[in-house]
Structure formats: structure tokens, C-alpha cells
Chains A and B, each alone.
Chain A
Amino acid sequence: MRDYILYGLGLVAAFLLARDVQVIAGLPPEASQGAIFKIIFFHVPMAMTAMLCSFVALVGSVMFLMTKSFKYDAVAVSVTEVGLAFLAANLVTGSIWARVIWGIWWTWDARLTSALVCWLLYAGYLMLRRAIDEPTQRATFAAVFSIFAFIDVPIVIFSIKWWRTQHPAPVFWGGGSIPRDWFVLAGWNWLAMILLGIVLVAIRLRQEESQREIDSLRRMAHAM
């Protein structure tokens, strides 16, 4: 991706986030939860961005196994890393919300546990990559691992429908009552986070290219 497109996307993301923060700060406190409910405008879009990253990682991994083209492996590792950062932020914001509303930082309910397992699985994916030196073997093992790790993603999403959990039922999709303008605001925040994610993934992809260049230069150095 060209530099000016990256800078442009980054600027749009920063502008949207700044505007959303200003609008969210001006919202009145919710009747039962108070001001802490505003965390939902970041907590939910961060989770959705992380899940989207997992899906792209799945597609990248499947495409790598089908084509053996390293560009798909680079996409998979880049989106996994960015998604992991968003999922970490999602877990932390959720935990802080829980401390105020439930009075506890953490509970082992289906949604929270499956989300933590998801984070650990993708962290394991990145650790697996570090453990294997040979590029083709590394990409193949990582792709298979990523496909298996994705099995947890539907469990995270539907856990609040499948089991009785302490985590609230879906507010935005699934019968929750939320004003339309709040829904739109959360949508804008999600767009901002997706744009931020695209910028981060593009930068990470360049690093993967540099890494491949280093690998080939090392091979040349050894051959001489």
C-alpha cells in the first residue's frame, strides 16, 4: 500500500476517533449503569475488529495452504498480531467495566473464558512461528494452527446465546434496546478501528517483506 494512502487512512481513523470521543464524552450517564456504560463504544468495536482479524487470518491461512504463496502467510500473521492487540484491549476494558457493575474483575463464565482462550490461542500461534526457523514449515504449521484456533471464534460470539452467562446479552444485535444514534456512533467507532487496523496490518506486512528480504540476503551470504 502506498505511503500517502496509509497516512490518509491513519488521519481519517484519528479524526473519527477524536470526534467519537468528543461525542461519547457528551452523552448523559445511562440510568442503571451510570457513566461506565460508555466503555461499550470501545469495548464492542474492539471485539468486532479482533474477530474480523481472526476471520481474515483464517482466509489467509486457507489460501496459503491452497497456493503455498507466502503473501497469504504474511497477511495471516499480520492480522493475527493486530487482532491480538485489539482483543487484549477488549479484555481489559471488559474487566474494568465488570469491576464497576459486577464488583469483580473477572469471572469464569463462557464468554469471558472463551475470549481469553481465543487470546491465548492466537498468542500461541505467534509463539509457534518463533519456534520454527524453516519458512515453509513455519508457514504451513502456523496456517493449520490458525485454522484450528478459529474454531474458538464462533464459540466466543455465540457463547452468550448458547449458555446462560454473567456477560450481558448482545446490546447491538440480539434484542437489546439501544437508541439508534448510539448504534450509529458505535458503528463509526468500529469503522475508525477497522481503518486503524488496516494501517497497522499494512505496516506489519511491510515488515514481513523486510523479513523475507533478510532471509534471502542471509541465504545469499551463506552461499558466497
Chain B
Amino acid sequence: MHLLTQTFLLAQVTPDDPIARELARLQHNYEFLSYGLTAAWIIIVLYVLMMVARERKLKQEVARLRVMLEEKPKR
């Protein structure tokens, strides 16, 4: 039983492969690079979308006030 446990433990140990380690590091780096760039552009795009929404609201408000001012003297 003891021998069997030791065999299982040895089977789980991975050899210290520098190429595999470097590939994993590179993969990790690229993953975080993509997170960084995505996050940065999401912030800028969100700001642009906020501006588009504000533009629409301002145009509606200007139109509403103009209609209100045109209608007022008629009363």
C-alpha cells in the first residue's frame, strides 16, 4: 500500500522542463497583455458611448424647448 502511494506521488511530479515553463510564462504574459489592451479600449469606447447618449439627450432637449417656445406665443 505504501509503495503504491509513493508510485502515485512520483507520477504526479512533472520534470522541471525550462521550455515548458517559458512557454507557460509567455502564454501568461500574452493573456495579461490582451486583458490590459482590452480594458484600456473598453474604457475609451464606454466614454464614446456615453458621449453619444449625451448628444442624443441634448438634441432631444433642444428640440423640446424650441417646440415649447414656438407654441407659447400662440396661446
A residues engaging B (CB < 8 A)?
Answer: 29, 33-36, 38-39, 42-43, 46, 81-82, 85-86, 88-90, 92-93, 96-97, 99-100, 196, 200, 203-204, 206-207, 210-211, 213-214, 217-218, 220-221, 224
Asked, given contacts A46-B40, A89-B40, A214-B61, whether A29 binds B29 with beta carbons under 8 Å apart, the answer is yes
Q: Which residues of B contact A211 (CB under 8 A)?
A: 58
6 closest residue pairs by CB, A with B: A96-B36, A34-B29, A217-B65, A89-B40, A35-B29, A85-B47
Binding site secondary structure of chain A: helix
Q: Which residues of A contact B68 (CB under 8 A)?
A: 221
Binding site secondary structure of chain B: helix
User: Are B37 and A42 in contact, CB atoms less than 8 angstroms apart?
Assistant: yes
Quote the shortest CB–CB distance from B74 to chain A (angstroms).
12
Q: Which residues of A contact B55 (CB under 8 A)?
A: 203, 206-207, 210
Quote the shortest CB–CB distance from A118 to chain B (angstroms).
16
User: Are B65 and A92 in contact, CB atoms less than 8 angstroms apart?
Assistant: no
Bound CA span A85–B58, Å: 21
Bound CA span A145–B65, Å: 32
Bound CA span A221–B66, Å: 9
User: Are A99 and B72 in contact, CB atoms less than 8 angstroms apart?
Assistant: no
Bound CA span A207–B57, Å: 10
Bound CA span A220–B73, Å: 12
User: Are B62 and A213 in contact, CB atoms less than 8 angstroms apart?
Assistant: yes
Quote the shortest CB–CB distance from B68 to chain A (angstroms).
6
20 other contacts beyond A93-B40, A100-B32, with CB at 8 A cut-off?
A29-B29, A35-B26, A39-B33, A42-B37, A46-B40, A81-B47, A82-B47, A85-B44, A86-B44, A89-B39, A92-B43, A96-B36, A203-B51, A206-B55, A207-B54, A207-B55, A210-B55, A210-B62, A214-B65, A224-B69
Bound CA span A98–B43, Å: 19
Q: Does B8 contact A (CB under 8 A)?
A: no
Bound CA span A200–B54, Å: 13
User: Are A99 and B32 in contact, CB atoms less than 8 angstroms apart?
Assistant: yes
Q: Which residues of A contact B41 (CB under 8 A)?
A: 89
Within 8 A of A (CB), among B1-51: 25-26, 28-30, 32-33, 35-37, 39-41, 43-44, 47-48, 51
User: Which single residue of chain A is at the shortest CB-CB distance from B46?
Assistant: A85
